[in-house]
Amino acid sequence: MFLLMLRQSFFRGRRRKLLATSTIILAASLITALMTISIDVGDKMSREMKSYGANLNLVPKSENLPLEIGGVDYNPLKGEVFLEEQDLGKMKEIFWHNNIAGYAPFLKVPAKLEGKGGAAVPIIGTYFSRLVKFAGNEEFRTGVREINPFWRVKGNWPDDSKTDEVLAGATLARKLGLKVGDRLTVRYALAPTQPEAVTVAGILSTGGAEESALVAPLALAQRIYGHTGKVQSVSVSALTVPEDRLSRKARHGADALDSLEYDRWYCTAYVSSIAHQLEEAIPSAAARPIWQVAASEGTVVNKIQLLMVVVTIAAFIASGLGISSLMVTTIMERSREIGLMKALGAADWEVYLLFLSESALVGLIGGLIGCGAGALLAQLIGLSIFGATVSFHLIVIPVNVVISILIALAGSLVPSRLITRLFPAEVLHGRK
């Protein structure tokens, strides 16, 4: 019976319902768009926090001093302080040494080519895949091939023990027209030194800064630079446990923990406690976990999130008011019908239920259409902010539908109190 009445009343006053639906569509599409972007980044961040592996970056302590002003690095020691290559073995002596899955040192050398117009090419020295020996005759294979399995090489990987083979980054190779097997002569760019002859063993694609450089065995880079046994930074790949409450607390520094918590934190393979232990093992180094998503997209998203809250509240109020005025008109128009229902024995709440479910239905439809429109809008915003499309998460739909229904209900709640004030006798006689 109730459903029958609802169906009949729903198809009346279509123009007004259309108006109400479009108000909600507008509000819902705005909220959907912002929420889609926010959730996309939020999910990526939470996946990163919950992953079992993490990368740490080890740099000399003085380089870690924040001396960046307006995006320009004023650190006078930039590129001039080094870590000792021989110290790196100490990383396998920390408590969680078994969780260090691999590491690769890096040394970036400004160099230029002899010939080809003396083009400046940075040379990045690293381990490709090298057997490292530790105390106790332990062997350990490490290098960029172990920690970056997604690096792709067309051609061959160079041999770490030779010092005349390099990889050319894909961008650089395109710019200079380098091919596998080309012979090059490189030398240090800032001072006249002995030039070195090298062969391009392969073309490297990484998706990072390495693509516009020559990647060489560490020993070769050190020889060109004239700093034997030095490295600038180390990428460490560690097996970790997902972040939780304790590790978030520890992020404010180890002092924030009491002694019991400190013990638990130290003896759990959180990325932060491994970083702490690496710093203990190599006192001249500072270790920082690299949260890739958190660093790049996190800051923008915080602002988007604030915007979303403001827009949601504004949309809530605006469309609530719109619906409210539409509802008043409806009740006034249909007052005779309400009077008749009451005269036939309907309780107040039954009349309420009819009107509220009607507007909830309007909210549902508006919310669903708004979701579709908002998903498109999100792609536009994503393209203009991040330069990439945003994947749509299904979870947005129920949240948005609930919000839309709430808007519709909130808008109709106040006017529907008019229903109680209608007396059957008065409205049926037309006296009110």
Partner 1 sequence: MLSYFVHLMRAFLPLALVAGLLLPTLRCSRSGEPGRWLFGAPAAGLAAGALTYLVALKLEAVTASRATLFGLGLVATGAVAALILTRRRQEPAPFAWWPALCYQAALAAAAIFSFLAASGEEALSTTTVLNSELILNLGGILIALLCSAVLVPVAAQVAERSPRRRLSWGLFLIGTLIAVPWGADLLLALMRLERIELTSLRLSVVAKVGKYAHLAPYGELAILVALALLIWKGRQVPEHAELAALEPAPRRKTKSLILRETRWLKSALYLSVVIVGVLAFYDLYASRPPRISTPVRLTPDAAGLIRIPVAQVADGKLHRFSHLTDDGHLVRFFLINTRGAGASGPPRVGVVFDACMLCGDLGYLQNKNEIVCIACNVRIFVPSIGKEGGCNPIPLKHEANGSEIVISARELDKGARYFSEVLSIKVKDPVSGKELINLKAPFREEFKGRIYFFENEKTLEQFRATPERFAGADPARNFRVQGYRQA
The residues binding partner 1 (CB under 8 A) are 35, 38-39, 41-43, 45-46, 49-50, 52-53, 95-101, 138, 140, 239-245, 248, 267-269, 294, 298, 301-302, 305, 308, 393, 395, 398-399
- Pick the closer one to partner 1 by CB: 368 or 397: 397
Tokens of 80: 């001039």
Residue closest to 237 by CA, chosen among 287, 168, 190: 287
- Pick the closer one to partner 1 by CB: 200 or 304: 304
C-alpha 300/C-alpha 356 separation (Å) is 39
CB of 101 to partner 1, least distance (A): 5
DSSP tally for the chain: helices H, then strands E? 15, 16
CB of 241 to partner 1, least distance (A): 5
DSSP result, 146-200: HH-TT-EEEE-PPPTT-SSEEEEEHHHHHHHT--TT-EEEEEESSS----EEEEE
Residue with tokens 């108006």: 19
CB of 359 to partner 1, least distance (A): 20
Residue with tokens 């309907």: 346
Q: Are 398 and 406 in contact (CB under 8 A)?
A: no
- Pick the closer one to partner 1 by CB: 227 or 393: 393
- Pick the closer one to partner 1 by CB: 239 or 381: 239
- Pick the closer one to partner 1 by CB: 59 or 396: 396
- Pick the closer one to partner 1 by CB: 72 or 344: 344
Q: What is the DSSP letter of 402?
A: H
Q: Are 224 and 196 in contact (CB under 8 A)?
A: yes
CB of 8 to partner 1, least distance (A): 20
CB of 397 to partner 1, least distance (A): 11
Residue with tokens 């107040």: 348
CB of 161 to partner 1, least distance (A): 19
